[in-house]
Amino acid sequence: MSINKLFLAFVLTVLTLVQPYAANPDNLDKVKAINNYINFSNESTHGMLIVHRLLENFNKNINKFVDLPDQQINFYSNKDLPEDIFEDPEHWFYETSPNSWYNKILTSKGVLPTATEVGLLTPANKMKAIIVNINKVRFDLETQINTLDLTQRENLGLVYDKLEEAVVWYKEYYKFQQELESNINKYFKTLNVSKDEMQFPEVLKAMTDVYETNRAALNALYFKDDDNYKDLYKNEVAALDRFKLIKLNDYNSTRLINAKVQTYWSNIIRQFTESLSAQKQFMDVENIPQEFKLYDKYYYYYNISVINKFNRYGNGIVYEMNRIIDYLEIPMPRYFEMPHYFKVIYPKILDQTEYLASSDPVISFIPETVKGRSVVLADHTIFIDSSVVKFQMYDHKIIDGDIVSISFNGDWIIEKFMITEKPYEFTLKMNEQGKNFLLLHADDMGRQPPATIALSYMYKGKRQLITLNSDTAKSEVIEIVVKE
């Protein structure tokens, strides 16, 4: 055999090896029909992010009529966007718009069993109705802001009520998305997809482990159900470690050695690593940017700091995983993205309180590290006989220029404050369940380290005094116990 023929035979052999396994055509059609629903959901999530930013702007713009400055997060308005964000005929935001994916759902009727189609169309139709309402809310708000006298409290109330409607729509959307996911997963398990069709089961399992552990942590932030967050975080770290053990170059003569796939794989590792870093900051009670102080740490870490490492926006892990599935032509459902949640913030004059309350309604554990420093539990406890307590803080003994920050239940209530002999007063409302704590963090220890503060408060009619210390290596935390 000539050299040319030998070379041709070698090329044909390699091409045969890197071709995908021929999946069952019936399975491919059914999975394609399933993925129409997932694509509709994921692209709708992308559109809802755009509206979400608009709603934040509307919210902050009306707050300036009361007592808060206008802090724009984005610099676009309704006039800069398509009339229907979920249609987007000029493809500003999507390759295929949510409405187009919805139409694909309708035109693929008959591919799936009738009972399955009903089970998928029911939540999908509700999701479609919700994005119509979400798109409408942005114009309703614009009309209200342009036509109502917002110096009148009752008119402001109408606008805030409209914003609260959006809060409900966002929550309802995720509820129906979860119903859609559940029905898709149940149906997919009934398909007779062979191991050969899945092609790379260990690779897919590693991706799914990363997805599911990250999704569980995101759900904990979304629902503010972080009692077991340390365990969720450990599961994520373990999943990432297993993911890193897989080396695509070991899959010689397969489509996994493709340069694009390897780039997607590397991006998953990078994005998930960055997500874990942000989640560590959440657990360590890190500061959040000033413009999000009026929301809370859950809102910031979920909506701003973590979810963009998960969703397509920011080329998160779901986006990269779905690109791998698409390239390999594996007959399996794509991964779902998660929607943002919306929260209305009110000016202090409308939501006036005489105390500071915790953004987390239940604290299950006291953090072990904060801002990279270890946390030391004080050898004494603050006992109080009321759920609302006024504290006075001042420098202990020598006035030496200590600058400190104080965290209450994970919220920084005092930041970089120079304490003096003049008492600084603040009033706190304790959580009814779980733990309550104050943490002292030294920003500058003054002339005589460590930074030391005195806290005075009333208990059973008598003035009590305790001290807290902090240096550059550790922060001291003290638990507060209601003992009526």
Q: Spell out the residues 6+ positions from residue 288 whose beta carbon is closer than 8 angstroms to its own.
A: 297, 300, 301
Look up residue 11 and give its two tokens: 């090329």
Residues 325 and 410 in one domain: no
Residues 207 and 82 in one domain: no
Residue type, 175: K
Q: Residue 455: which of 438, 434, 472 has the closest Cα?
A: 438
Residues 186 and 261 in one domain: no
Considering 154, 171, 196, which residue would you say is the last residue of a domain?
A: 196
pLDDT tens digits for the chain (484 residues)?
A: 555 544 444 444 444 444 455 567 788 899 999 999 999 999 999 999 999 988 988 888 777 666 555 455 555 678 888 899 999 776 678 889 999 999 999 999 999 999 999 999 999 999 999 999 999 999 999 999 889 888 787 888 898 899 999 999 999 999 999 999 999 999 999 998 888 888 899 999 999 999 999 999 999 999 998 889 999 999 999 999 999 999 998 888 788 889 999 999 999 999 999 999 999 999 887 778 877 777 888 999 999 999 999 998 878 999 999 999 999 999 999 999 999 999 998 776 554 557 888 877 888 888 888 887 889 998 889 999 998 999 998 876 666 567 888 889 888 888 888 887 788 888 999 998 889 999 988 877 665 677 788 889 999 889 999 888 888 788 899 999 998 7
Residues 161 and 277 in one domain: no
Query: For residue 339, is it within any domain?
Result: no
Residues 231 and 100 in one domain: no
Residues 321 and 383 in one domain: no
Query: For residue 303, is it within any domain?
Result: yes
Query: For residue 348, is it within any domain?
Result: no
pTM (2 decimals)? 0.81
Cα–Cα dist 79/54, whole Å = 11
Residues 188 and 220 in one domain: no
Q: Which residue has the tokens 């398509």?
A: 82
Query: For residue 375, is it within any domain?
Result: yes
Quote the longest CA-to-CA distance of the chain.
103
Query: For residue 340, is it within any domain?
Result: no
Considering 163, 196, 229, which residue would you say is the last residue of a domain?
A: 196
Query: For residue 119, is it within any domain?
Result: yes
Residues 368 and 289 in one domain: no
DSSP-derived 3-state class of residue 470 = strand
Query: For residue 409, is it within any domain?
Result: yes
Structural domain that includes position 53: 17-196
Look at the chain and report how many structural domains it folds into. 3
Do residues 82 and 90 lie in contact, with contact meaning Cβ atoms separated by under 8 Å? yes
Residues 211 and 325 in one domain: yes
Residues 148 and 188 in one domain: yes
Query: For residue 1, is it within any domain?
Result: no
Residues 126 and 181 in one domain: yes
Residues 303 and 173 in one domain: no
